[in-house]
Amino acid sequence: MYCVRTVTDDLYWVGANDHRLHLFENIHPIPRGVSYNAYLLMDEKTVLFDTVDWSACRQLLENMEHLLGERPLDYLVINHMEPDHGASIEEILLRWPQVSIISTEKSFMLMRQFGFHVDGHRLVEVKEGDTFSFGKHEVTFIAAPMVHWPEAMVTFDTTNGALFSADAFGTFGALDGKLFADEVDFDRDWLDDARRYLTNIVGKYGPHVQLLLKKAAGILDQIKFICPLHGPVWRKDLMYFIDKYDKWSRYEPEEKGVLIAYASMYGNTEAAAQALAAKLCEKGMSNVWVYDVSNTHVSQLISESFRLSHIVLASVTYNLEIYPVMYDYLCHMKGLNLQNRTFAIIENGSWACRSGDLIQKFVDNEMKNMTVLNERLSLASSLSDSKAAELDALADALLDSMSQA
């Protein structure tokens, strides 16, 4: 059975939802599922914008067959060929062999590299600024390299103002019938997943997102719909989401607040993290979030690290090193290019406390534009009453730093 939604007039969402996949890219948990969005334009020519993951191909085909009826598919625009969107290209070619594929040179190269059998079909290579007419609808192609792969482009329909934005403006989460962002309480129910998606998938490529946002700024007044490849379509309050993307890709925190991430073996480092959280709240800063790195997926830690201005790392020393799960979190922050945060350190060790120095070294040497506060809370096995002044000083240092930012 088909399952389609009308975006506007002659443009339809023909994608699919996936609640079966547990790990997106086999790494990021998606408890709320994910959608693979594809769009069908029924102009004088028929045009499919992107395909879907192989697991959702049957739904895509049913949706297309329902809308196309006896009409052929004339064009397939591939904005992003990564297999969660491009895996069904060959199936489209089998069913509509006369279709012309429009994409970038790099995209065709990657399709061949992945073993997609596209040669022998009509391939139309486009680049930045090229235009194309499908009848009533005229589109222009805009290069979007590294958002999120090097071949990516976005397509702007100058007739109806639809921006097919590829991975940009995507989110985790299955649509489950609700196509538009204004059909859900996005801020309450979707923003965390949107941030987790962007920061973990494209976080490393902030400057490239910025480049795309600058291009979009030039046509902002003409954009009426943002049609991403994952998550809801935007037709209202576009600036709300564009602003979020702008902040995330500039590595600017959304909120003044404190993320306390702790690595604790027997609960003593955890107790120090909790004591600091209570102290901060007591002093009036209640935007405090405490996470155990051992039972919080690193994609969530990353998302929170992008959201908040201050990060306290509380780690036990383990085999004379940083606790491995904490180290993994640090490596993810580095890999995703997180910048412009203020760190504080709580260290613990029963006979050779080294985690604090090692964390400091990592942040100073491996990360960009970070500040580490001088005040450090150092524990020998547990937080004793004698540390009350140090705990207080650490809380004050965090508050001072926040007041100056």
Binding residues for ligand FEO, rule: CB under 6 A, are 80, 82, 84-85, 148-149, 167, 229-230
For ligand FEO, the closer of residues 200 and 264 by Cβ is: 200
Q: Which is nearer to ligand FEO, 84 or 193 (CB)?
A: 84
Instruction: State the nearest-atom distance from the C-beta of 167 to ligand FEO, in Å.
Output: 4
Write down the residue that tokens 């976080």 correspond to. 203
Closest CA to 47 of 139, 115, 134, 176: 134
Give the span between the Cα atoms of 230 and 295, in whole angstroms.
27
Shortest Cβ 120–ligand FEO spacing (Å) = 26
CB atoms within 10 A of CB 120: 8
Residue number with the shortest CB distance to ligand FEO?
Answer: 82
52 or 383: CB nearest ligand FEO = 52
If 0-12 CB within 10 Å is exposed, 13-18 middle and 19+ buried, where does residue 132 land? middle
What radius of gyration, in Å, describes the C-alpha atoms of the chain?
24
- Nearest approach, Cβ of residue 255 and ligand FEO (Å): 27
Q: How far is the CB of 295 from ligand FEO (least distance, A)?
A: 27
* Strand arrangement, sheet containing 122-125: 5-8, 11-13, 39-42, 46-49, 75-77, 100-103, 122-125
- Which residue's CB is nearer to ligand FEO, number 21 or number 338? 21
Least separation in angstroms between residue 91's CB and ligand FEO is 18
337 Cα distance to chain centroid? 13
Residue whose CB is less far from ligand FEO, 85 or 235: 85
Q: Which is nearer to ligand FEO, 87 or 333 (CB)?
A: 87
Q: Strand 28-29 and strand 23-24: pairing? A: antiparallel
CB of 84 to ligand FEO, least distance (A): 4
Fill in the amino acid letter for 281: C
Chain Cα centroid distance, residue 5: 24
